[in-house]
Amino acid sequence: MSDPTGPLTGVRIVEMTGIGPVPYAAMLLADMGADIIRIDRPGGYPALDPDLDFSAMDAASVFYRSRPVVQVDLKSDAGRAAVRGLIDKADAVIEGYRPGAMEALGLGPQDCLTRNPKLAFVRVTGWGQDGPMARQAGHDLNYIAKSGALSLFGRDGKPPVGLPPLVGDMASGALMAVIGLLSAVLCARAGGRGQVVDANIVDGSASLYTLLTALSAMGAHNAGAGGNVLDGGRYYYRTYACAEGGAVAVGAIEPAFRRILLERLNLADDPLFQNDDPKDEAARVARFSQIFASQPKEHWDQLFDGTDGCVTAILTPDEARRDPGLAARETFVQIDEVWQSNVTPRFSETPGSIQRTAREASRDDPGALSRWD
């Protein structure tokens, strides 16, 4: 592995292997050039479903790309000493264990900050480091349910369905951890002290709906879930089923965009769409539903291509990677026969890169322990 390149070159991070938010946060940081050493348990973590295709697992573990891994027995004095030595030379540690787990290993923030006063000790959990639920088990859905975020995905008086772990684990956990880690490192480099960063999913997901909180205070988002402008309550901002099983997203909020939407659908002169009377909203939705159901999503994608009508086909991940526009930008790349997202965000002067493939990054690399010597 060559030295990392990118805007975070020179930032050293010790990652304690986990699932969900921590490896994703570390992947983003490593893609941007942070020099990360991932510490895993002997035999790897976690114990995965025996029905998985283990022959493809190394290549498919894209979370682990761009940094080396070392399997260390943290139950041994030698293993703990090795990790402690790395932390002494690091700018940050990122871990996602239950509160108290790192302390039990002698690797908690008090021990580490005593030895390395500039250290950013980033802790990613569901419930946070304190409070009555801190050590209680949970998953993405539980955390965003408690924060209030999940309720915002209801529709027509029905409870929200289960969501993939994107709002909680990936956004509220991982991205807040990245922001917290970089903020703490910048603070320490500017003359401040090291500190503990509590990046938890409940706090993060509560922050994510700040816009809706502000709109509600202004009286613009006070209907039940699914009844507001920004959550599908208007004909011009919602999804519609199409012929042949597809669907489209319509997002023409602004009047200028809505005019284009109506013109393309030959509805510009239709009396039903000449006003915004709420009593006619169900009829407008019904008319749009009928129209979009008459053709496959590809038809509508082509009809609105290059316009500001704000209509796009809803693509599956497989369809997204084949989309010509995304392909032109190389939003997705194929490595070891596995399609995955490319490095993001993009930098003009110090571009990041995938420093090591997932397959390479899944192989135990004991030499990484001496990488910072």
The residue type of 215 is L
Q: Which residues are catalytic?
A: 139, 169
Answer whether the bond into residue 160 is a cis peptide, omega within 30°. Answer: no
Within 13 A of 338's CA, how many CA atoms are on the CB side? 17
139 contacts: CB under 8 Å, gap ≥ 6: 126, 165, 168
For residues 240 and 256, what is the distance between their CA atoms, to the nearest angstrom?
A: 21
Q: Which tokens hold the place of 132?
A: 């009555």
Cα separation of 239 and 233, whole Å? 10
Tokens standing for 308?
Answer: 């500001």
Q: Residue 18, SS3?
A: coil
> What is the DSSP code (8-state) at residue 169?
I
Which helix (H) or strand (E) element contains residue 288?
Answer: helix 281-292
Structure tokens that stand for 156 in this block = 């027509």
